[in-house]
Chains A and B, each alone.
Chain A
Amino acid sequence: MSEDDLPPGMERRLSLRILNYWRSIRQDDAFPAKGDLDPAAMSDIWGYCVILKIEGNEADPLVDFCGDEIKKLCGEDVTGKTISTAPPKCLITNGLNLYTRALAKRVPITYGDEFENDKGVKVLFRSAILPLSEDGTTIDHFLCATNCRLDEPDTIDGDEA
């Protein structure tokens, strides 16, 4: 579902939609668990989601799940790979590199930036990184969502990648 297909009144920014969803499944101050995620309840976002496994991989998280749209954007399925072994110029390596900050601050982080992909095209992205925890306090996974826009000279404004 592209942003143009969203029902009227729905928040357009993916980063805020997933943050809203994350807050909705959160119990009090405890982080939600990976098992609390319901792809059907966030079907408009799920394709842009990535789940990073942090437990035992703090220095180089493992891609536990990769949404279909992210697979298309990266050109391959990076499930099972770590951040460092994923293609260096793809959305996962560039769009989710602030997980260390989220791990240190123990809060959701949303941010945007740009990078040049393997075709030399500038990619403008926005990402959200949200902590997940089985026991409510120890972060063991991150729910991430990211989408982007290619800044190609011939691309019509607003053309979503």
Chain B
Amino acid sequence: MSNYEVQSHKNGQWVIASVQDDQDEAIYEAQRLLQGKRTTSVRVVQEIYDANSDTYRMKVIFRRARASETSDGGAGDGTKKKKVARPKELSTFGKFSRDTKISFRAFIGSVPFLIIKFAVIIGLGIWLLVSLQEVAEKL
């Protein structure tokens, strides 16, 4: 026989809110707790008794976090994930780098670049022809 612990996440740790013997009831209760706005994340842990080893195995069978939380509820490991602000210098460099990449891509696709590319190809072609003509004259 299994038991289901409904747990809520409070002050950085999981706290048992109730114990049920019915999985559907436990999940329903967990969802209701989450709607109650007293917790940011909930989960249901199944306790499975192993008669061979006389121990209980714990298995998380349901987990939900409120929409404003991370999808994991920041609670998979019992700690809340925090967004770390980037240092300003890095942010500035990142912005510059990103802007430079965007400018370069825009330049490659621009008409002046196509004209320059066309001129270089024509120039190389002419140079190749002249070179071949000179070689032919020598022979």
Contacts and interface: CB of A to CB of B under 8 A. Distances in A.
Given A20-B32, A23-B36, A109 B25 contact: no
B22 A107 contact: no
B19 interface: yes
A15 B26 CA distance: 11
A32 to B, nearest CB: 14
B97 interface: no
Contacts of B21: 110-112
A19 B16 contact: no
Nearest to B38: A28
Contacts of B25: 13, 15-16, 110
A110 B22 contact: yes
A93 to B, nearest CB: 19
Nearest to B18: A108
Interface in A1-38: 13, 15-16, 19-20, 23, 28-29
A16 B17 CA distance: 13
Nearest to B19: A109
Contact of B16 (A15, A23, A105, A110): A105
A107 B28 contact: no
A19 B29 contact: yes
A19 B20 CA distance: 11
A107 B32 contact: no
Nearest to A26: B38
A72 interface: no
A110 B20 contact: yes
A109 B18 contact: yes
Contacts of B36: 23
For the complex of A and B, the 9 pairs showing the least CB-CB separation, nearest first, are A111-B21, A108-B18, A109-B19, A110-B20, A107-B16, A107-B18, A107-B19, A105-B19, A112-B21
Given A16-B25, A28-B38, 15 more contacts: A16-B29, A23-B33, A23-B36, A102-B19, A105-B16, A105-B19, A107-B16, A107-B18, A110-B18, A110-B19, A110-B20, A111-B19, A111-B21, A111-B22, A112-B21
Interface of B: 10, 16-22, 25, 28-29, 32-33, 36, 38
22 contacts: A13-B25, A15-B25, A16-B25, A16-B28, A16-B29, A19-B18, A20-B32, A23-B33, A23-B36, A105-B16, A107-B16, A107-B17, A107-B18, A108-B17, A108-B19, A109-B18, A109-B19, A110-B18, A110-B21, A110-B22, A110-B25, A112-B21
